[in-house]
Amino acid sequence: MLLNSNLPNINQHVVILGGGTAGWITANLLAKHWLQLGIKVTLVESSDIGVIGVGEGSTPQMKTFFDEIEVDESEWMPACNATYKNGIRFVNWSKKPGYKSYFHPFASKIDAFTAPIFMQNCVARLKGYDVHAHPDRYYLATKLADKKLSPIASENFPFEIGYGYHFDSVLLGKFLRKIALKRGVQHVEGTVDQVAQHPNGDIKELKLENGQTIAADLFIDCSGFRALLIGKILKVPFISYKENLFNDRAITLPTPVSENINTATISTAMKCGWAWDIPLLNRTGNGYVYSSDFCTDDQAEFELREKLGMLKSDTPAQKIKMRVGRMEKHWANNVLAVGLSQGFIEPLEATALHFVLETVNGFIRTYGAGGFTRKNQAEFNQNLNARFEGIRDYIVAHYRLNSRTDNDYWNANGSNNKVSTTLVQMINCWTSGGNLAQEIESKRISSFYPPFSWHCLLAGYGVFPAEKQLMKDESQSQRYDLNEIDEFIRRASLNFQS
Ligand SMILES: Cc1cc2nc3c(=O)[nH]c(=O)nc-3n(C[C@H](O)[C@H](O)[C@H](O)COP(=O)(O)OP(=O)(O)OC[C@H]3O[C@@H](n4cnc5c(N)ncnc54)[C@H](O)[C@@H]3O)c2cc1C
């Protein structure tokens, strides 16, 4: 393979720095695709520097990952106290009557029967007709979550169902480590305290505190928020999203597992952010994501404890600082940044591990196609940056459109004009009753969030003409029989169990 100077020739040795979820997911993907090419893969991690390790939710890409590395749910889910996730319910984000909560489901093929009706009703309501356009009645996954059913259908149900998981990320890291080591990844425990570079800036070797040196051709920086190689050594600039997204702290507190486990993440709006409720087999993971510009850590802890009925409990809370934004480049010199080191958008839509998978799979594809050229490197970085911005915009939309005005935090979010042109155009298209799906396609952002997700968000927050302006029109309101949709979804849900 012909490689340009300053781009990695990885025919010999790849070193992953960091053994958090990002590091071990990367190790497994490289074990699957590169060990067979004779490339040696080593992961270095420090037992003195911890991992982030909060209870986490995933998107459906996590299922694709486990299918790809050929690990069955029956093997990994019990080992990680994992549960199924049909989507996310957003509670108390909107103060509008009738819009107290809405559900953002994962897409499934059966939605083809009901989602178009929802979207057509959205357009009719935007045009001023009084038709039903709240997303909760149109998706099977919503019904499954409401009935606390898992997304695994009986065999005679002929539609594929999209779903994600909740899991203990510390246990997930440990599980993935075992698999990667069994498959031939080398493991070194130690703290990197020095890094040597070649004259062209490429990383030459890592030096550990115990004196050991590890040289490689390619380094994958999975060192978390420290961003040791991409940030501290290569000095790739960090682009903060602080002016778009205000939250920069999280606080976590576990509670005992409830008897009847939810099959969805619950995101509840709080005074200065939102709280998650993530059900695991052995506990419920709770956390409050907030902005330190609007409340202190102690105020946030009090509010979370109050919500959970834990004001008198001595269970300690874990406090986490979040660096929200992304690196200007994810791949620079012979370093690929993966995970928190490459960037982080706050966890509202649980997209971080999705990024890890996109990044590593994209990199493996680029290598496989003989594509380690400057042009492809630039394209690779551009694509990931566009994905980051696309997902950021969707999350910003939650804060801009929810209609809460009860304090400075929500007012500042609602009136924040530091939003991208793309988002402004999307909102304008929606409110003027334009074709949002077409707008999304033309902007090439449907692979970040597809039209149905945008419809759920905008309709879920009730971004429609005011109730009193709506016209009663029988030809519109009787176009679809909602009872038929209810019955269709009810009967489909009978194929699932808790
Ligand atoms: C509050 C919060 C909630 C989140 N919720 C979700 C969610 O629901 N869904 C989701 O997909 N993601 C979520 N994330 C993101 C998710 O936690 C991370 O993407 C994921 O855990 C990967 O982290 P990481 O491996 O990049 O970093 P870390 O877990 O921080 O791991 C860093 C690793 O680098 C090693 N290291 C660092 N420096 C050195 C050194 N000098 N020498 C040797 N080793 C070193 C450490 O030992 C560690 O092994 C959340 C994040 C936060 C902050």
* pLDDT on residue 469: 87
* pLDDT on residue 479: 82
In angstroms, what is the span from residue 226 Cα to ligand 1's centroid? 10
Across residues 168-175, what is the average pLDDT? 96
pLDDT at 3 over 60: no
* pLDDT on residue 6: 56
Across residues 188-196, what is the average pLDDT? 98
Cβ atoms of 43 and 180 within 8 Å: the answer is yes
Task: Among 54, 276, 304, name the best residue to mutate to test ligand 1's pocket (greatest count of ligand atoms within 8 A of Cβ).
Answer: 54
Cβ atoms of 263 and 294 within 8 Å: the answer is no
Reply yes or no on domain 13-52+166-241+325-386 having CATH 3.40.50.720: no
pLDDT at 121 over 80: yes
Orientation angle between helical segments 61-68 and 352-368, nearest 10 degrees:
50
Across residues 439-454, what is the average pLDDT? 93
Tokens of 64: 């694709």
236-240, 479-483, 494-498 — which one is most confidently predicted on average?
236-240
Task: Among 56, 286, 335, name the best residue to mutate to test ligand 1's pocket (greatest count of ligand atoms within 8 A of Cβ).
Answer: 56
Cα 243 from Cα 247, distance rounded (Å): 10
Residue-averaged pLDDT of the chain: 94
Identify the band that residue 115 occupies on the pLDDT scale cut at 50, 70 and 90.
very high
* pLDDT on residue 2: 37
* Better pLDDT: 137 or 372: 137
Residue 63 known to be catalytic: no
Residues 6+ apart with CB under 8 A from 109: 159, 160, 161
pLDDT at 69 over 50: yes
Q: Express each pLDDT in 379-390 by its tens digit.
A: 999 999 999 999
Closest CA to 164 of 257, 245, 279, 87: 87
Cα 424 from Cα 238, distance rounded (Å): 24
Task: Among 52, 106, 169, 344, name the best residue to mutate to test ligand 1's pocket (greatest count of ligand atoms within 8 A of Cβ).
Answer: 52
Q: Express each pLDDT in 414-445 by its tens digit.
A: 999 999 999 999 999 999 988 999 999 999 99
| Nearest Cα residue to atom 50 of ligand 1 | 347
Identify the helix (H) or strand (E) that includes residue 214. strand 213-215
Q: Can you tell me which atom of ligand 1 is nearest the CA of 18?
A: 34
| Nearest Cα residue to atom 37 of ligand 1 | 223
- C-alpha triplet 308, 309, 314: angle, nearest 5°: 95
In angstroms, what is the span from residue 324 Cα to ligand 1's centroid? 13
pTM exceeding the 0.85 threshold for the entire prediction: yes
In angstroms, what is the span from residue 126 Cα to ligand 1's centroid? 42
In angstroms, what is the span from residue 23 Cα to ligand 1's centroid? 9
Cα 294 from Cα 302, distance rounded (Å): 14
Residues 6+ apart with CB under 8 A from 225: 52, 321, 322, 323, 340, 341, 344
The residues lining ligand 1, judged by C-beta closer than 6 Å to any ligand atom, are 17-23, 44-46, 49, 51-52, 54, 56-58, 169, 191-192, 222-224, 226, 228, 250, 287, 320, 322, 339-341, 347, 350, 352-353
Spans of all domains in the chain: 13-52+166-241+325-386
